[in-house]
Structure 1
Amino acid sequence: MVSLTSLRAAFARLLRRPERLLSLHSLSWLLAALPLALLLYALVLVPFTPGISDIRKAKSELPAQLLSADGKLLAEYRWANREWVELNQISPNVVKALIATEDHRFYEHFGLDWRRTASSVLLTLRGDPQGGSTITQQLARNLFPEEIGRSRTLTRKLKEAITALKIEASYTKDEILETYLNTVPFLYNAYGIEMAARTYFDKSADQLNVLESATLIGMLKGTAYYNPVLNPERARDRRNTVLSQMVKRGKLDAKQLEPLQKRPLRVNFERQTEVMGPAPHFAMHLRKQLIAWADSKGYSLYSDGLVIRTTIDSRLQAYANQAVARQGRQLQGVADAAWARRDGWGPHSALVQTLVRESAEYRSAIDKGEAPEDALKELLADSAFMAKLRTEKTRVQAGFLAQDPVTGHVLAWVGSRDFAQDPFDHVQAARRQPGSTFKPFVYGAAFANGASPDDTLMDEAVEIPLGGGRVWRPTDGRPPSDQPMTLGDGLAYSRNTITAQVMQQVGPARVAEVARALGVRQSPLEEVPSLALGTSPVTLKEMVTAYSSIANLGRYVEPVLITRIEDRHGKLLEAFAPPTPEAVFDARAAQTLRNTLRGAVDRGTATAIRTRYGIQADVAGKTGTTQDNTDGWFILMHSRVVAGAWAGFNDGRITLRSDYWGQGARSALPMVGEFMQQALRANVVHGRDRFVDEFDTAPSLDRSLDSMRDWIRGLFRSDPPAPPAPSAQPSPAPAPRRLPPVTTDDAPSLPPVRVEEPGGA
């Protein structure tokens, strides 16, 4: 036996006399030592390859389940879009084609086919690269792409071989075939033979005939190159090669070969979309958080069968989905009609020309050397391109969120009209100007300073110097009445002139402080006077949380999405403690503000809640519309549900081009109105629940009677009433407590907010 000392001595002599490396004796030594070196290197790599337990886990994949509070499945977290089928549910034609083409000695080897490996090495050395991997080796790559890799290196091949041997030790041959066919990718987000059969032939895997089976197995040599959708000729040639291999290996009668090879592909392509469940944006929002939790606890979100229990109520989620879908269709019809007109989507429109210049097609033309004006002219004349661009840009979007103001539980979450069409989340990712839904923070700051809803200000033109020669002149789309108006009416009818004066009294910094305390905690707020009218972009999630704090009398509760995580057997892994309410705002002022916001629903801009949707529960809320009707908002407060909606377009330059439909009262309010109507009818939300006042209030009897009369009149009006004429307004206090001149936005027709400065607004 050769000792280590003698090997060292021989190696040292070769280094002193390198010409001896060319001798026959030296070459024989090298050839003898090479297998030993490879073996030693392979042993070193063993700890760096997947363990048997990892292999078994990969086969028995159990995706985590996301459940609603009432036990309904919301989503499953799969690492790929596939449906696992057992081997007996796969057509025998598939198995025959696979073995004949990829590994005809599959049942004879133990993971490695030495004859095939040696043959591939020789062919590669001759300049004809050939793959020598068995089905088991390919499965190793499919299961563990990161651990093994795909580079052409000795290390990768050794890792692949070691893992293949482990797989053979862990699985039966049939299990290997089943696992392989369920994990191989087939393009178009289709993983596994079942999804491939549905994608390319619109049938299940057990129904594939010999031609279809040969086509799919032929793709494995190069899915993109042999794609039957984009490269049908290549795919047909490759399919015929597979059929020849099946004849060669005794898997197909030779008499059938020629007739079959003459047959066309007959692909019936249908892209398979991943089923995301009733709350896809909510599920995607949680994915990163859940992966981090699972990693920290030693679990896999995709294979350990975790059960995540959430706060979503499946019934409320269904109502929210229906309401968003219905109103989305209504608004899309409005948008389509408006933008189909020549004056909307015409080639001479400056906006349309800008959108064309921003398109990928325009940039591609420029990159190819085309002159900018020629590229623009050509695309503007391309009717198919222009129609496609218009559809993309004028697609109405929406967001909806409902939350329990007491517990912080998120009850329903709709991030867009269609997740597959637009996965962007308009609940927590989109920042848009909130318009008049921001006004309660202005009045809340005033109430905290001792103001009362019965205090009056003059409804008159307002000018607020901003410095540098700039002047802010907020308007209401109609001349001011030059009559006193209470703060309560100013908020109910969303008068910009009144709100701006209140802002001037309390100051932008204080308003921003109130908004942040109540829940607007991620979006930056610009502390300028126009902040009163909602000019700083925020998210719908922040606004619903802030209104929840108002409903909860100034107590902020962090939104809760998950209550507990269990293993597949129901064992509790972690329970998430409910958040502690945080007193962030004066409770008496919050109560006053909440009660004042009833006015918008009872007699102001949101009376459709009463008149159109018949909701007689104790609710309060606020509409919001931004400049040029770009964004529509509405948030409704109930003692146990705060629901908010936003409607608009992804591109803020696009609008509904309608002063009627663009208002929050007509774009966003219907989503919340239908949602609450259905929730109350089903008794999921209790209509008899009322806000509880923790502090005594003593409104005048006259004021209470007037509010009751306004509410009763509102029941018989189909449109939000205009603010009462001066003669019909409640009698002003004998000596109005006038705050320094101030202003506000959003009545049934919301005016633009104007800031006049040198050079334009």
Structure 2
Amino acid sequence: MKNIIKKLLAILLLIVLGLTAVAFTAGVVLLHKDAHNARTIELQNSSSPLAQSFTITDQNGAVIQGSSSVYKYVPAVVSGNEQNVPDLYIKALLAVEDSSFYSRKTKGYSIKGILNAFASELLARLHLGSEARGGSTIDQQLAKNLALGGYKSDKTLSRKLTELMDAHSIANRYSRNDILAAYLNTLRLTPDTIGVNAAWYNLFGKPADKPKDKGLYLAQIAFMAGLGQAPSTYTQQFDAAGKKRATTVLGVMKEENIISSSDYDMAIKAVKSELKINLGSSQGVPKAYQAYIAQVQNEVASMALPKNATIEIKTYATKSQLDYLQTVADHQAASMTENLPRAELPKGILTAISVVDTKTGHILGLNTNSDNPLLPISAVRSSGSTIKPLLDYAPALEYGYINANSTLNGNASSYSDGTPLANYGGNNYGPVSVAFALGDSLNSAALQTFQMTSTEQKNSIMKPLGIASAGYDEAQAIGYNISTLQEASAYSAIGNDGLRVTPTAIASIKVNGQDLPLPESESQRAMSSSTAQTLVNLMQNVTQSNGSEPYAAQPQWPGAFATKSGLSNFPESATEPARSQGAPDAWMAATSSGVSTSVWAGSPDMSGKYYIPAAPIDVENNVRVYLLNNTIRYMNQGRDMSPFTYTGQRLAASNAVPQIPDVTQPANSADIKAVQGLNPKAPKLSDDLQNYYNQHSQDQLLDPAKVYGAN
């Protein structure tokens, strides 16, 4: 039967392709007839390089990056005595993007490319082929880059036809070399650069000259030639996606006889062992400062600074703190926790640390043992249970579905689609208090609270926390993709009376000696003061005798510290023993009246080759608790660690959805109408929970099912 279906689909494909060919032929006729109506795009390549000279200091004026030029633009020359783009790069680029660029007779478009793109798109939609491929020529891509800045992805038919006409117009008026140079000069391969030459310099710390190491040179050529397909993915996920893309391009280069088999083998070896990129303009900068400088560069990239200027930036970091945090990230500092020896970091495991000032949002630390300095900033991983206070419990508390005295399900349960959900270790606890559920990190209770609130209610909290989503699936109740910087910032709201201040690393900027006015950091209320206070009280159970971290991460500052731990799971495709004995991600997040912190240790990929041992639990506990305790104890030295303060403020009216009335009081008509308008869900009650409720008086326990009515 499956074969018959495939044959029918194949016939359908041929019919559609035939119709498409007819339509395209008509389109080509229209193109030639109306090409004069296309916009007249002029190629005006600037011949002058653009650069910014940066000096970055800590808050005391100590230099963490000396004066260094960051090239924004270096014009590409593709032929003649002044050529500065390697021929080998041009051949590799054309092989993967537009192989007929120099040879085709059609002006600006390729019939074969368009038909191939359509066929792959159709096959992908029918699940009969791999990912769809683009069919745009270099001319078309240039037209899009010039018209749309290369940022927007408009796939409408009218946009494509206009793009074809623009490309045809360009191809009729300019030489192949002029068009190729213009295309290379419009590429946005890194956030801070325009054009391939500036990107090459900033990624590899040198111009595109042939180095002595031929294998490394070929690896760099392949990486740059393939980078245009998904620049942010290949740079931010360099060790996985970036190197895989470079390997793919090397394969194309070998197939097209651009390189020999021996050169291919040499380059593949270099991709695995030598190929590296310098993100955040970190060439020559000590590792302790690279991630922080990358964040500074991210913030600067969004500012309208002069293209050619001398820029001096003062940050909120201190060199001594960054130096120490690097020893923690490298797992080399002595343990600051009594009776908790420093655990050896498992082979191949990466770490990330982010620290923000709880009240001001100032970024104080960003460190990692990885060669990718963006890891603490924008590399997201599954948060495990550290998301539970933010996504599950906070909305349920804010909108009155639970309070500190409520009882939740402590037994194994299931998602709405019937997929089983167990607690860590497969344990069942029966009816449990909210404090026990969060303190012992019960998955069943987290799912129960997650199901109580709507997406709108969740986002009234998650949006001001800076981690909102258009929608949430139930699996995110116990694991949400996030970076350590995002999480540290989100946790700061819990310790700051429910207010989150947008994190920033930059304290001041001077441009050519003149102070640049900076806007005030935005402060938003993410939750009411009472919800923040309740979360602090609940999270302190994490470090009590029955908590998930009973012997370490104890609150050093009574009333001024709260924490949560988390683990994630490997996919089923991972190898053993990782599937049953390890985790790809181990987290600790904490807030205090001084600083808020998120730390992560985990595998560079999901294969199972590298993992955090989770059996016995002591191993992963020691790794993540070591990272957290050393970080937060050191960063809070010299600070006034007074208990958290609470103002009693409610969630801002602009963020909140209508609150559920106080159901413990006699209902009036307005309350009843409000409840009907909200149409709240009743928490799902298992049989053992219902029996528990039936055995206790209502003076002792409030039964949510009786309050809202069972569904």
What TM-score does the superposition give when structure 2 sets the normalisation length? 0.51
* Contact 1:505–1:740 under 8 Å retained in 2: no
The answer to whether structure 1 residue 540 and structure 2 residue 487 are counterparts is no
* Contact 1:456–1:732 under 8 Å retained in 2: no
Superposition deviation, residue 455 in structure 1: 1.5
Distance 1:732 1:596, change over 3 A: farther
Superposition deviation, residue 545 in structure 1: 1.6
Superposition deviation, residue 223 in structure 1: 6.2
Partner of 1:735: 700
Superposition deviation, residue 189 in structure 1: 6.6
Q: Where do 1:165-184 residues align within 5 Å? A: none
The C-alpha deviation readout for 1:576-603, integer Å capped at 9, x for no partner, is: 1322322232232222212322222344
Partner of 1:42: none
* Contact 2:465–2:526 under 8 Å retained in 1: yes
Partner of 1:279: 289
SS at match of 1:335: coil
* Contact 1:518–1:550 under 8 Å retained in 2: no
Aligned residue identity for 1:538: I
Q: How far apart are the structure 2 equivalents of 1:661 and 1:328?
A: 22
Q: How far apart are the structure 1 equivalents of 2:464 and 2:508?
A: 28
Aligned residue identity for 2:630: E
Superposition deviation, residue 648 in structure 1: 0.3
Partner of 1:94: none
Aligned residue identity for 1:632: A
Aligned residue identity for 1:146: P
Partner of 2:91: none
1:417 pairs with one of 353, 364, 369:
369
- The CA RMSD over aligned residues, in Å, is 4.4
Partner of 1:447: 397
SS at match of 2:375: coil
* Contact 1:634–1:664 under 8 Å retained in 2: no
* Contact 2:394–2:531 under 8 Å retained in 1: yes
* Contact 1:402–1:410 under 8 Å retained in 2: yes
The answer to whether structure 1 residue 401 and structure 2 residue 342 are counterparts is no
Aligned residue identity for 2:487: M
1:582 pairs with one of 493, 514, 524:
524
SS at match of 2:634: helix
Partner of 1:335: 346
Partner of 2:376: 427
Unaligned 5+ segments in structure 2 are 1-44, 85-199, 218-275, 335-340, 571-582, 650-695, 707-711
The answer to whether structure 1 residue 146 and structure 2 residue 75 are counterparts is yes
Distance 1:281 1:733, change over 3 A: farther
* Contact 1:63–1:77 under 8 Å retained in 2: yes
2:507 pairs with one of 558, 563, 582:
563
Q: Where do 1:334-373 residues align within 5 Å? A: 335-336=346-347
Q: How far apart are the structure 1 equivalents of 2:501 and 2:460?
A: 17
Partner of 1:290: 300
* Contact 1:65–1:73 under 8 Å retained in 2: yes
Q: How far apart are the structure 2 equivalents of 1:546 and 1:311?
A: 19
Distance 1:313 1:464, change over 3 A: same
The C-alpha deviation readout for 1:261-286, integer Å capped at 9, x for no partner, is: xxxxxxxxxx9994213320221233
Partner of 1:498: 445
What TM-score does the superposition give when structure 1 sets the normalisation length? 0.48
Aligned residue identity for 2:488: V
Aligned residue identity for 2:388: K
The answer to whether structure 1 residue 644 and structure 2 residue 588 are counterparts is no
Partner of 2:178: none
Q: How far apart are the structure 1 equivalents of 2:212 and 2:329?
A: 42
* Contact 2:313–2:510 under 8 Å retained in 1: yes
Q: Where do 1:716-755 residues align within 5 Å? A: 735-739=700-704
* Contact 1:316–1:675 under 8 Å retained in 2: no
SS at match of 1:280: helix
Identity of aligned residues (%): 16
Superposition deviation, residue 491 in structure 1: 0.8
Q: How far apart are the structure 2 equivalents of 1:155 and 1:637?
A: 55
Distance 1:615 1:401, change over 3 A: same
Superposition deviation, residue 732 in structure 1: 11
* Contact 1:518–1:554 under 8 Å retained in 2: no
Aligned residue identity for 1:70: N
The answer to whether structure 1 residue 550 and structure 2 residue 494 are counterparts is yes
Distance 1:585 1:695, change over 3 A: closer
Aligned residue identity for 2:616: Y
Partner of 1:163: none
SS at match of 2:520: coil
Partner of 1:485: 432
SS at match of 2:464: helix
2:312 pairs with one of 272, 285, 307:
307
Partner of 2:182: none
Q: How many residues align?
A: 415
* Contact 1:328–1:398 under 8 Å retained in 2: no
Partner of 2:141: none
SS at match of 2:408: strand
2:327 pairs with one of 322, 325, 342:
322
Unaligned 5+ segments in structure 1 are 1-46, 82-143, 157-184, 193-221, 231-270, 337-394, 697-730, 742-761
Aligned residue identity for 2:80: R
SS at match of 1:691: coil
Partner of 1:691: 644
Distance 1:48 1:430, change over 3 A: closer
Partner of 1:606: 549
SS at match of 1:677: helix
Superposition deviation, residue 480 in structure 1: 1.2
Partner of 1:475: 423
Structure of higher CA gyration radius: 1
Q: How far apart are the structure 2 equivalents of 1:576 and 1:472?
A: 51
Distance 1:504 1:49, change over 3 A: closer
Superposition deviation, residue 474 in structure 1: 2.9
Distance 1:737 1:565, change over 3 A: same
Partner of 1:631: 585
* Contact 1:632–1:663 under 8 Å retained in 2: no
Q: How far apart are the structure 2 equivalents of 1:503 and 1:529?
A: 7
Q: How far apart are the structure 1 equivalents of 2:702 and 2:78?
A: 78
